[in-house]
Amino acid sequence: PYAAAQASRLTPPLPPTMLTGADTPFFGNGIARTRTLLGTEPPVIVAMSSVSGGSHTAGVADLTGSPPMVVIAPSRTPTDASTDTPAPTKTPLPTATVEPTATPLPTDTPVPTETPTATATATAVPTETATPTATLEPTVTATSSTTPTATVEPTATPSPTPSATATETVIPTSTDVPEVLNLGGRIAYTVWDHRTDRYSLIFYSIAKGESWPIVPNRRQPDFAPNGQLVASGDGGYIDNLVLMGTNGENPVPISAHSEDAHPHWSPSGKAVVFDSTLVGDGRHRLYLQTAETFGQPLGPMMFEAWELFGRYPIFLSNGQIAYNGCDVWENAVHCGIYQVDTQGSRPQGVTQWPGDIPTDNLGNQILATSDRDGDWDIYRIDSVTGAAEQLTDSPGRDGLATASPDGNYIAFVSDREGVWAVYAMAVDGSNEQKLFELDGGFGSGDRDWLQERLSWGW
């Protein structure tokens, strides 16, 4: 019928007639429909094509080879459209492409304009309302824009367009973001001064985020429960262990030898354990200094007739002392961490890894730096069973772990990012956070980083 209608537009008009023919695939964006007008002499072929531009083209030719006549007919629009689709112009507006049937084909997606609010046009929109609206997206996400924009995907059958409903933007919960550690207190640490070839002691205030004061010629600090500090002297007329105020002021020597190192307070704050090579044979022995003997010479700790050889001693909260050493009473067959009381009992083996270095206690557990996995990492070791839990696993060197005064966090040094810095984490190794970089590094040999200590106090 459509072909017959187009034939009636010819001059002279063709009479209505029966048409035969078939739809033929057409190169381009539509379907070519050919119809033969019967009863004409010679027979006439009407060829029609439906193209994506929204118009139908009807070509009429007879079978004698005469040049065809072409008729451009505007396409039919859906019954609910308000106006006809305008004829193509030099700048065609997007229009809906429909089959010459009651069911329209999907329309081309309109190109969004820079203006957030669209204006009304004569273009038929396959919706029930022709009210000018902003261009709609298939889905809408709430944004700070006052007018959401979107593009409607057309369907094969026109249907009412649903109202756009803004969806709630999902806000990440606390489980999506690493927990910010609730830290407090101060961390005492040391850095190597290349001008003097000595260590300097520095206090970092977590609340203020600043390092101050700087105390030269001090190393290996440890806070007492009351806030006092013990450290090793490193020149400046004091080379032995010194007792200082909370900011490193008023140093008072408490040991008699420059070889004394690695002091650590007892839980009561009334005794200090340390190691020393003062005998002169190069072997490290353990010493216990009490408040009554501060500043006086004393001998090493003993087990029966054996001197206690070892390094890096620390007190545990139960009063036991953990240290790195060997079972010299058994020809030093096993080396690792041992623990002993202050009454001369036989030391008990905790681990059998020579590279386990105690650095602080976590109650009755031992915080240690160890190379048991090939590089230096931090471990938490049960002092009874010897079970070790690895807390860090970075490509750099991690160590010198110290517990916070409340026992909830651990601070440590690491060069995982290429420079030495102090980090903090929970006691299970989670939520690692960088606190600050060290303004300098460490020395070498017997003054390398493994010989130093961090201490966390109030």
Q: Is residue 21 part of a domain?
A: yes
Q: Is residue 269 part of a domain?
A: yes
Tell which of 43, 74, 105 closes a domain: 74
Nearby residues of 97 by Cβ (< 8 Å), 6 or more positions away: 50, 51, 52, 53, 54, 75, 104, 105, 106, 107, 108
Over the range 73-95, which residues count as b (16 or more CB within 10 Å of their CB) and which as e? bebbbbeebeeebeeeeeeeeeb
pLDDT, one tens digit per residue, over 105-143 is: 344 444 344 434 333 333 333 333 333 333 333 333 333
Which residues is 195 bridged to in the sheet?
A: none
Q: Is residue 154 part of a domain?
A: no
Q: What DSSP designation does 175 have?
A: G
432 and 285 in a common domain: yes
Tell me which residue range forms the domain holding 64.
Answer: 2-74
Q: Is residue 8 part of a domain?
A: yes
pLDDT at 179: 62
pTM for the whole thing? 0.63
192 and 70 in a common domain: no
pLDDT at 182: 85
pLDDT at 3: 47
Tell which of 47, 74, 101 closes a domain: 74
429 and 295 in a common domain: yes
pLDDT at 236: 86
335 and 194 in a common domain: yes
**Which ranges of the chain have pLDDT less than 50?**
1-7, 10-11, 14-177
pLDDT at 451: 98
Residue 414 CA: distances (Å) to CA of 189, 285, 396: 13, 29, 7
Q: Is residue 320 part of a domain?
A: yes
Tell which of 74, 93, 108 closes a domain: 74
pLDDT, one tens digit per residue, over 51-83 is: 444 444 444 444 344 444 443 334 443 334 333
428 and 299 in a common domain: yes
191 and 64 in a common domain: no
Q: Is residue 146 part of a domain?
A: no
Nearby residues of 323 by Cβ (< 8 Å), 6 or more positions away: 275, 286, 308, 310, 311, 312, 313, 314, 337, 338, 339, 340, 358
For the beta sheet containing 388-390, the strands, ordered from the edge strand earlier in sequence to the opposite edge, are 357-362, 365-370, 377-382, 388-390
406 and 286 in a common domain: yes
pLDDT at 268: 95
pLDDT at 357: 99
DSSP letter string over 396-422? S-EEEEEE-TTSSEEEEEE-TTSS-EE
55 and 200 in a common domain: no
Number of domains in the chain: 2
191 and 60 in a common domain: no
62 and 192 in a common domain: no
Q: Is residue 405 part of a domain?
A: yes
pLDDT at 297: 86
400 and 276 in a common domain: yes
Q: What is the CATH number of the domain that holds 410?
A: 2.120.10.30
Q: Is residue 167 part of a domain?
A: no
